[in-house]
Structure 1
Amino acid sequence: MTNHYFKAFTQRNTAILLLLGFASGLPLALTSGTLQAWMTVAGLDLTTIGFFSLVGQAYVFKFLWSPLMDRYSLPFLGRRRGWMLLTQVALVILIFAIGCLNPQHDLWLMAALAVMIAFFSASQDIVFDAYKTDVLPADQRGNGAAISVLGYRLAMLVSGGLALWIAHYYLGWRATYWLMALLMVVGIIATLWAKEPETIASTPKTIEQAVIEPLKDFFGRNNAWLILLLIVLYKMGDAFAGSLSTTFLIRGLGFNAGEVGLVNKTLGLLATIIGVLIGGILMQRLTLFRSLMLFGILQAVSNFGYWILAVTDKSIITMGSAIFLENLCGGMGTAAFVALLMTLCNKSFSATQFALLSALSAVGRVYVGPVAGWFVEHYNWPLFYLFTIVMAVPGLLLLAICRQTLEHTQQTDSFMPRIHFSHQYQSAIRLVTAGASMLGLWLVLLFWSATEFSTFYYLKEALLIIGGFLCLMGILIGCWLDYYSIKKEQLKTN
């Protein structure tokens, strides 16, 4: 029986997903941490280095051009593999080209190439996520998610810490980037080796359909609003715990940066790899709902390790144990969560829907920082880490509420249609659309008049308040209608 579970990790699709996951993760550090290290060694000022952190915005806004990859197929290798090959060839050329430059003399050209690398890397992520969603049947999504995450994490280690070590001790920066470009060829080989997903799902006929239909499809499902909220909240406790973990270990406990870096980069990565592999194996025995619930509880419990660190004396062994446990459980939760995102995607629009859902899942990770900092300043570290455990509970409760919907989707590979409150749902969607439009206008005005405090000040304030209020009201109405629909169906069944 055990051999049966491990056999899933030796199949052809598994090897392809591992290599494609590696190719997907490799470019990330080359435009962020590794590039910053190169510029720091070259003697550039902090303002310039900080400016370069903006080149990664493509990863945040990749959903904007994801409909193009659902709508159009390139004239070679099929709908998914064609786009993957194009992005990978472009990345090989661009990474090699940026290695030919000198930060001190070619700064603007380097910035342009870094932006292009981030764009093609984000585009590769879009089509890779769509590929694995299309190619994996429901019973293989757990180990498929685990293997792709494993490849991604290994690539981040290679292009991050290992690249710095090679550049410093052996090859120098130029040859190191050329080596990374050569490693990207692994993705091209995997794409050529892979088979195009066989799907009978219809594809969008126009770009308008590619943009509108994925949203209509998703919001026409049962519990759509609650599931979106679940995606935001499922890893919220983890997001809070990780947002200040480095600051806590250095400033709160007094470990030096070298100790924290060594434990996080080695033990933490090892624990994550073990976690995603264990998660993938267990998901072959458990349903998606049970996996999400079990791993979600473990994620919450693992935050107790940081609380123990906060209330006990400084110890490198205790720190290592806490980091190992947190990353182990976080890796298991990540495997199940990626499988959830794949399950929620319609294969007709998998590129667009996965890009939107993954962007939504990043909300907690991106925006909890200010709240976490305020909490620690006004209270203390032990109470903060107890608070992170509490913040995991809403996601688990939402998961329990959505159980019937998730189990139906996993068992039938189809989605339960919405049958109640269609007019009321339309009102919720209109509120969110109006609010999002106002927030979008607020962002435009914010950037337009960033240097002038008085320009459009009251208009920007009104747009932010009213837009945020309309979005919140629409989301609350949608979630309430979802919950009431579940109760109505339960009463009908009983």
Structure 2
Amino acid sequence: MHTYLSRFIDAFSIYYNRRVLALLLLGFSAGLPLMLVFSTLSFWLREAGVDRAAIGYFSWIALTYAFKWAWSPLVDRMSLPILTRFLGRRRSWMLFAQLCLVGAILGMSFSDPLENLERLALCALLLAFASATQDIVIDAFRIESAPEKMQAALAAAYQVGYRGAMIMATAGALSIAAWIAPGNEGYSLESWQTAYFVMALMMSVGIITTLCCKEPEVDTRKADDAEIELKKKFEQKYPTKVAAAFAWLYSASVVPFLDFFKRYGKSAILILLLISCYRISDIVMGIMANVFYVDMGFSKEEIAFLSKVYGLIMTLVGAGAGGILISRYGTMRILYLGALLVAVTNLLFAWQAYIGYNVPFLTFAISVDNFSAGIATAAFIAYLSSLTSSGYSATQYALLSSIMLLFPKFIAGFSGVYVDSFGYVNFFIAASLIGFPVLLLVSLVERSQAKTAQAKVADNAVVEQTTKTD
């Protein structure tokens, strides 16, 4: 018994690391702005009397997050004047994004949607852009701060901070607004302005963390050498300044993608296929989840507690467990386990659809499903992080994390039609079945990468032997 307890304590000790605490606080900084341009802003606008059409247009601001890969090369390769000299490339970009976030949230707090809706929209757009930029650089900072075996623990801590900040930006902001104007059934501009002002102050958590944490040591010689070589080639055709600009642009935006395919060769296609399919089972199922709860007769209070509160806790517990398991058994094994658990747990909802309204069983189903999703997410983030290379972390991770949602979201768009045609029981069985081919992909990728690694070792051995012979 003592031996098992010691092993558990040793495994859990990974969360005592200073880098894990830093990612917890940076996760809070990343999660706070998200809801301020989503549900909280929609609540404010509707209470102010803004029409639904305008509120719907505001939702387009969220598209900024979907295109963050477009400017991720700037974060990877561009130094910021003065800031980079004192803080380093990653921390300088983090601080810059956080200061922009504070300015944008303060701009929203001093706006009146009834007097100047356009200014509020511009501030919200700046908020989304700065928030997406902060996401890019924090992901790169996380990847470069620790080895692969720690990535799941860092991701778990990041998720805890992120989810906690989302609660603060929704329930917290609404509570502040209600506290400023107690018993006021009408619209109070001051209450919403105060709530957003407090949210701007909360961003100090991220700023202080950025100033106190250590800049990761990154070997950028490979990327720098590639840019120098490109500059020499371009100088044969163009003036020096033009050649330097072309070399920087090409090395920042094109080379990261070429580097990925060069490193993984034929395995790259399998890897991208795995990334695009790994989350298909839970995303397809998740689209219909709330609709299913309503159709089964569950109340708003039951759904809110079980799905949004209890389910969130189980997701974070699962992510924490995933971090411990990966540090002990490696990424690929837990990636396989997570995919298996997610596919199997969808069958619980098929049984829920069969028995109908039953709170105890729904509690069990959500607990197991969200715990499994937490493990799978932690493993997947660790795996994506391991695929990036030094000097191109921000660009490659931004692209890979965008790819992971495209195909599942497209397939999920047909989920409502499938439910109408075949019912919930068949839908959840199908959502489970489409997750099992992912297990084959994980196995194929693991074998392919192992063969590639063996081939590289053999090639290096031949080169070394030839050198000795010469």
**Retained in 1: the 8 A contact 2:23–2:142?**
yes
Question: 8 Å contact 2:276–2:408 — kept in the other structure?
Answer: no
- Structure 1 counterpart of 2:75: 69
Q: Once the 2 structures are TM-superposed, how far is the Cα of residue 407 of structure 1 from its aligned partner?
A: 5.8
Match of 1:178 among 197, 210, 216: 197
After superposition, the C-alpha distances for 1:228-281 in whole angstroms (9 at most, x for unaligned) are: 110011110011110110011102x02233321232221111111111111111
CA contact (8 A) 2:40 2:173 kept: yes
CA distance in 2, matches of 1:164, 1:416: 57
- Aligned partner (choices 162, 168, 175) of residue 158 of structure 1: 168
User: Aligned residue for 1:394?
Assistant: 437
Report the more deviating stretch, 5-14 or 382-391: 5-14
Does residue 242 of structure 2 align to residue 217 of structure 1? no
Q: How does 1:300-311 map to 2 (within 5 A)?
A: 300-311=343-354
- Equivalent residue for 1:384, pick from 424, 427, 450: 427
Task: Measure the CA separation in 2 of the matches of 1:169 and 1:406.
Answer: 56
- Residue 457 of structure 1 aligns with which residue? none
Number of residue pairs matched by the alignment: 414
Alignment of 1:47-86 (within 5 A): 47-74=53-80, 75-76=82-83, 77-86=87-96
Between the aligned partners of 1:386 and 1:415, the Cα distance in structure 2 is 41
Q: Which amino acid counterpart does residue 158 of structure 1 have in structure 2? A: M
More helix by share: 2
Cα offset, 1:372, TM superposition: 0.8
Residue from 21, 27, 30 that aligns with 2:27: 21
The answer to whether structure 1 residue 109 and structure 2 residue 89 are counterparts is no
Q: Which residue of 1 aligns with 2:133?
A: 123
Correspondence list, 1:78-477, <5 A: 78-170=88-180, 172-202=191-221, 203-204=223-224, 205=227, 206-220=248-262, 221-222=264-265, 223-251=267-295, 253-406=296-449
Cα distance in structure 1, aligned partners of 2:448 and 2:150: 19
Whether the 8 Å contact between 1:405 and 1:416 is mirrored in structure 2 is no
Do the aligned partners of residues 188 and 407 (structure 1) sit closer, same or farther apart at CA in structure 2, a change above 3 Å counting? farther
Q: Which residue of 2 aligns with 1:422?
A: none
Matched-pair contact (CA < 8 Å) for 1:239–1:364: no
Cα distance change, pair 200–368 in 1 and its aligned pair in 2 (3 A)? same
Structure-2 change in CA distance of 1:308 and 1:170 (3 Å):
farther
Distance 1:337 1:265, change over 3 A: same
Give distance in 1, aligned partners of 2:168 and 2:159: 14
Task: Give 1:342's aligned amino acid.
Answer: S
Deviation of 1:335 after TM superposition, in Å, equals 0.5
For 2:41, the aligned partner's letter is L
CA distance in 2, matches of 1:78, 1:277: 30
Q: Return 255-264 or 121-130, whichever deviates more.
A: 255-264
- Asked whether the equivalents of residues 24 and 124 of structure 1 are also in contact (C-alpha less than 8 Å), the reply is yes
- The amino acid that maps onto 2:213 is A
Q: Which ranges of structure 2 fall in alignment gaps of 5 or more residues?
A: 1-6, 182-190, 228-247, 460-470
Distance 1:8 1:196 in 2: 20
Q: Distance in 2 between matches of 1:180 and 1:259?
A: 29
Residue of structure 2 in register with 1:34 after alignment: 40
Report the alpha carbon displacement of residue 405 of structure 1 after superposing the two structures with TM: 4.6
Alignment partners' CA distance in 1, 2:448 and 2:91: 31
Q: 1:192 & 1:364 partners in 2: Cα distance? A: 39
- The Cα shift of 1:117 comes to 0.3
Q: Percent identity?
A: 37
Q: CA deviation at 1:135?
A: 1.1
Match of 1:462 in 2: none
**In structure 2, the residue corresponding to 1:240 is in which secondary structure?**
helix
1-side partners of 2:46 and 2:387: how far apart? 43
Question: Do 1:167 and 1:173's aligned partners in 2 also have CA atoms closer than 8 Å?
Answer: yes
Cα offset, 1:207, TM superposition = 1.8
Q: CA deviation at 1:368?
A: 2.9
**TM-score, L = length of structure 2:** 0.85
How much is the aligned-residue C-alpha RMSD, in angstroms?
Answer: 1.9
Stretch moving more, 156-165 or 308-317: 156-165
Give the secondary structure class of the aligned counterpart of 1:303. helix
Q: Residues of 2 paired with 1:153 and 1:394: CA distance? A: 30
CA distance in 2: counterparts of 1:258 and 1:364, whole angstroms: 33
SS at match of 1:254: coil
Structure 1 runs not aligned, ≥5 long: 420-494
Distance (Å, rounded) in 1 between the aligned partners of 2:124 and 2:178: 21
